[in-house]
Amino acid sequence: MGKYFGTDGFRGEANVKLTVEHAFKVGRFLGYYFGKEHKARIVIGKDTRRSSYMFEYALAAGLTASGADAYLLHVTTTPSVSYVVRTEEFDCGIMISASHNPFYDNGIKIINAMGHKMSADVEQLIEAYIDGKTEELPLATRENIGRTVDYAMGRNRYIGHLISTATRSFKDKKVGLDCSNGSASSIAKSVFDALGAKTYVINAEPDGTNINMNCGSTHIEVLQKFVIEKGLDVGFAYDGDADRCIAIDDEGHIVDGDLIMYVCGKYMHENGKLNNDTVVTTVMSNFGLYLALDKAGIRYEKTAVGDKYVYENMMKNGHSIGGEQSGHIIFSQLATTGDGILTSLKIMEVMLEKKTSLSELIKPVTIYPQLLVNVKVQDKTAAEQDEDVQAAVKAVEEALGNTGRILVRESGTEPLLRVMVEAETDEICHKYVYQVVDVLKAKGHAVEGK
- CA-to-CA separations, 353 to 22, 197, 288, 346, in angstroms, rounded: 48, 16, 25, 10
- pLDDT tens for 91-139 read 999 999 999 999 999 999 999 999 988 999 999 999 999 999 999 999 9
Strands 299-303 and 254-255, how do they pair? unpaired
pLDDT on residue 307: 85
Q: What is the pLDDT of residues 404-418, one digit of tens each?
A: 889 998 887 788 999
Cα–Cα distance measured from residue 388 to residue 385, given in angstroms and rounded to the nearest whole number: 9
What pLDDT band is residue 1 in, cutting at 50, 70 and 90?
low
C-alpha dihedral, 349 to 350 to 356 to 362, nearest 10°: -140
Judge whether 93 and 44 are in contact, CB under 8 Å: yes
Q: How far apart, in whole angstroms, are the C-alpha atoms of residue 293 and residue 235?
A: 24
Q: What is the mean pLDDT of the chain?
A: 95
Q: Work out the percent of the chain whose per-residue pLDDT is above 70.
A: 99
Q: Cα–Cα distance between 177 and 239 in angstroms, integer?
A: 11
**Distance separating alpha carbons of residues 320 and 331, to the nearest angstrom:** 6
400's CB contacts (< 8 A; 6+ apart) are 406, 421, 423, 428, 432
Give binding residues as ranges: 99, 239, 241, 243
Question: What integer pLDDT is reported at residue 112 of this predicted model?
Answer: 96
Rounded distance between C-alpha atoms, residue 4 and residue 22, angstroms: 10
Are 110 and 117 contacting, i.e. CB atoms less than 8 angstroms apart? yes
Give the pLDDT score at 449: 54
Contact at 8 Å (CB) between 291 and 263?
no
Q: In this model, does residue 450 exceed pLDDT 60?
A: no
Domains, the chain, with CATH or none: 5-156 (3.40.120.10), 165-361 (3.40.120.10), 370-442 (3.30.310.50)
What's the CA angle centered on 321, arms 86 and 1, to 5 degrees?
65
Three-class DSSP labels, the chain: CCCCEECCEEEEEECCCECHHHHHHHHHHHHHHCCCCCCCEEEEEECCCHHHHHHHHHHHHHHHHCCCEEEEEEECCHHHHHHHHHHCCCCEEEEECCCCCCCCEEEEEEEECCCCECCHHHHHHHHHHHCCCCCCCCCCCHHHCCCEEECHHHHHHHHHHHHHCCCCCCCCCEEEEECCCCHHHHCHHHHHHHCCCEEEEECCCCCCCCCCCCCHHHHCHHHHHHHHHHCCCEEEEECCCCCCEEEECCCCCEECHHHHHHHHHHHHHHCCCCHHHEEEEECCCCHHHHHHHHHHCCEEEEECCCHHHHHHHHHHHCCCEEECCCCCEEECCCCCCCCHHHHHHHHHHHHHHHCCCHHHHCCCCCCCCEEEEEEEECCHHHHHHCHHHHHHHHHHHHHHHHHCEEEEEECCCCCEEEEEEECCCHHHHHHHHHHHHHHHHHCCCECCCC
CA separation (Å) from 322 to 29, 255, 258, 368, 375?
Answer: 33, 16, 10, 20, 28
What pLDDT does residue 201 have?
98
Which pLDDT does position 412 carry in this prediction? 73
Average pLDDT, integer, range 194-218: 97
What digits encode the pLDDT tens for the residues 249-260?
999 999 999 999
Which residues have CB under 8 Å from 112's CB, separation 6+?
85, 92, 118, 119, 122
Task: Tell the burial category of 186 from Cβ atoms under 10 Å away from its Cβ (0-12, 13-18, 19+).
Answer: buried
Confidence of residue 284 (pLDDT cuts 50, 70, 90): confident
Q: Is the pLDDT of residue 309 over 80?
A: yes
Give the separation between CA 3 and CA 6, rounded to whole angstroms: 8
Query: pLDDT tens digits, residue range 162-183?
Result: 999 999 999 999 999 999 999 9
pLDDT score recorded for residue 272: 97
CA distance 340 to 177: 11
Q: Would you list which residues are annotated within the binding site for Mg(2+)?
A: 99, 239, 241, 243
Q: Which residues are catalytic?
A: 99
Residue 2 above 90 pLDDT? Answer: no
- Considering the entire predicted model, what is its pTM? 0.88
| Number of Cβ atoms within 10 Å of the Cβ of 398 | 8
Residue-wise pLDDT tens digits, 23-73: 999 999 999 999 999 999 999 999 999 999 999 999 999 999 999 999 999
